[in-house]
Structure 1
Amino acid sequence: MAKQSNLNIFLDGFAHILEEQWQVDVLLKAGDSHPDAAISAHKLVLAARSKVFKKMLEEDECKTSSEKEIITLSEMKHEELKALVEFIYSDGSTPCAGHARSLYLAADKYDIPHLRDLSRNELISSLNASNALDVYVLAQIPFDDALNNAALSCIRINIATIAYSDELKLFAESNPNLTVEIMKACVEQSIKVRGVKENTELDEFKAPSQPVEAARPSLQKGRRSMDVGPIVSFEKKMITERPKKNIRKNPEIFCCRGHYVMLKRSCETVTFSELKHEELEALVKFVYSDVSKLSAKAKEHVRSLYVTADKYEIPHLRDLCRNELVKSLTLSNALEVLELSLIPLDNALHDAAFSYIINNLKTIANSLEFKLFATRNTDLTVEIIRAYMARRNIYY
């Protein structure tokens, strides 16, 4: 017992002189400290524990006109700074409970590796569904492999809860790339579905062979019928796009096909600034065709024609383009088509693209396109995560 007692006295020596305030020669202040509130410490102890503190004390930048030098740790609160000082003066075995997050950051900034190790262990042992996202972000500052893996594992285990939380939406807005990593981790793991272990990858989604017409009535609701409308008879008009090339066609046809092309003069120029020349040519050919199907040329420009059909109110062209987009869904274009379905919302196209993505998520989630998509569409990314969870009915 005497030997143990002597050991304790030896190990507690620094803490004892701090408590006595013996020969303290530096003051530490936190960002929220009262002007008169400071924590006294010893330069030698700080320098021995931290290379960063040693360098700061060697420089003149922390010196003031006061009798004691002052170091301000503006990123810390007073209670957090107090916990840091207590650890520095301890025997190094004290757990970092209570302020693990702030001490972890301080340990990294001020180069105190042992404190970082203890704080990491405390963060890992306290991981749960409510704090896993925050710890996952923390593990990136700078990257900490052990903490990163532990947080990601906790998120994956609790994804059924986390996916429907408000925190995930906020997380996705601030951390789209990390959201993609969460998605990849969820779809790549082996999971239990109704108690049977299986791989997450599904058979590749097959686009329907028949045209999708389910959403057509709702999409046309409130729009004027394309079978009626004014026909203004003039001999010729000129249509131009960005390149200075012209296409001469009869104005009557355009007035029939789309309400927004209105002519007032015998020869008028209408500029479709959003279209390239080849896209405009495909549009004109469609307008003059029997409109029963898309030509090969039109299929090459189906995306731009789909947008044009909506802008200039040509519902039948939009229907044909929608059908072509659904039939031609692939791993490389599904995300783009999903975005396209929101301009404006096209339920049939949206549902087809969304289902394709969910059924092929293991491949899509690992693509560069998905990272870019998540950056642009945080809400959609969260919805994909939720839909994937609901589709697979995952149990961990």
Structure 2
Amino acid sequence: MNWNCPFCNFGSNSFCNFGSNNPICSDCRENARRMIVLTNKLQNEKRLDNQIRTSSSSSTGLGNALKFMEQMKEMEDELNEKLNFLSGFAAAFKEQIHADILVKPGTDEPSLPAHRALLAARSIILKHMLDSDQCKAPPNDTITFQELNYAELESLLEFLYSGDLPKDKMDKHVFTLSIAADKYQIPFLQKFCQKQMLGSLSSSNVLDVLEIADTCSSSTLKENALNFIVKNVKDVVFSDRFDAFAVKNPHLTVQITRASLMEKIDTNQKQGPFTFFKPL
């Protein structure tokens, strides 16, 4: 008996039946098989292409990362070379190479040899002082820093020549150097001292920091010091240092009182109605 193929509608004695009520002819079956093989092949090729693209993208990203690291290494090497080059100034100070001026502390201690050009380059105030008639000649002239002792002056000069200072010296002279940086307009030293003070705030030194901030008109330093005092008011206000501080700096004492009161008001407003005294 002949059946018509449901796909090609062509009668044939050669049919393949896979449990269907509508068997298909051998030609249609072969064509279907070829279509399935081709479809699978195209899907495999697509997956392979995606894998290649992903691998290529990953390789590109890794290559860019390696290139960036190489650039950073080159920048680091260049920076180290510049630092080594500039370290010659520190050597000139330590070895007193061709010094042309003496720098004297305000105390009865020895003077330190220095270089006019470097002092003038580091501070506009020192430049004006060196340009004055009193310092133009001869080369053995002396410039005096009345507010500094020998150790403080040596630390100041070391920073001017090298742009850095050992931690032990910075810890010891940070307040004096901060005032000197403000007086002689040395912005980099001001920033250096401020960072040191902000990083070492404590109940034992915060009043000194506040006083320095007020003297040097540093709003950032002053704000941080006041905030620290408000948060640690008991430890600060009842310390031995506070009485002398209050006598010397009445305006700062008023600011501490106001800041503490405002903090108290803000806290009570968050918690409920504000009262100064507990009801009886």
Alignment TM class, shorter chain as reference: 0.5 to 0.7
CA distance in 2, matches of 1:90, 1:81: 14
Whether the 8 Å CA contact 1:25–1:40 is kept in 2: the answer is yes
The unaligned stretches of length 5 or more in structure 1 are 204-357, 360-390, 392-396
TM-score, normalization by structure 2: 0.64
Partner in structure 1 of residue 53 of structure 2: none
Partner in structure 2 of residue 28 of structure 1: 103
The unaligned stretches of length 5 or more in structure 2 are 1-75
How does 1:7-86 map onto structure 2 within 5 Å? 7-34=82-109, 37-62=110-135, 67-86=139-158
SS of 1:111 mapped into structure 2: coil
CA distance in 1, matches of 2:213, 2:274: 32
- Letter in structure 1 aligned against 2:159: F
Say which of 178, 181, 184 aligns to 1:110. 184
Structure with higher helix content: 2
Deviation at residue 8 of structure 1 after TM alignment:
3.2
SS of 1:98 mapped into structure 2: helix
Is 1:88 the counterpart of 2:160? The answer is: yes
CA distance in 2, matches of 1:49, 1:201: 56
Deviations 1:161-216 (A, max 9, x none): 122223222222222221121111112126898xx99459723xxxxxxxxxxxxx
Whether the 8 Å CA contact 2:265–2:274 is kept in 1: the answer is no
Say which of 141, 153, 173 aligns to 2:247. 173
Q: Which has the larger radius of gyration?
A: 2
How does 1:182-331 map onto structure 2 within 5 Å? 182-189=256-263, 198=270, 202-203=274-275
Whether the 8 Å CA contact 1:12–1:91 is kept in 2: the answer is no
CA distance in 2, matches of 1:164, 1:189: 18
C-alpha change, 1:19 and 1:175, in structure 2 (3 Å) is: closer
TM-score, normalization by structure 1: 0.46
Whether the 8 Å CA contact 1:30–1:76 is kept in 2: the answer is yes
C-alpha change, 1:26 and 1:147, in structure 2 (3 Å) is: same
Whether the 8 Å CA contact 1:30–1:73 is kept in 2: the answer is yes
Deviations 1:326-380 (A, max 9, x none): xxxxxxxxxxxxxxxxxxxxxxxxxxxxxxxx54xxxxxxxxxxxxxxxxxxxxx
Greater relative contact order (Cα < 8 A, sep 6+): 1
CA distance in 2, matches of 1:201, 1:150: 28
Whether the 8 Å CA contact 1:31–1:73 is kept in 2: the answer is yes
CA distance in 2, matches of 1:162, 1:81: 31
Whether the 8 Å CA contact 1:24–1:40 is kept in 2: the answer is yes
User: How many pairs are equivalent?
Assistant: 201
Give aligned-pair identity as a percent. Answer: 34
Q: CA RMSD in A?
A: 2.8
SS of 1:71 mapped into structure 2: strand
Partner in structure 2 of residue 151 of structure 1: 225
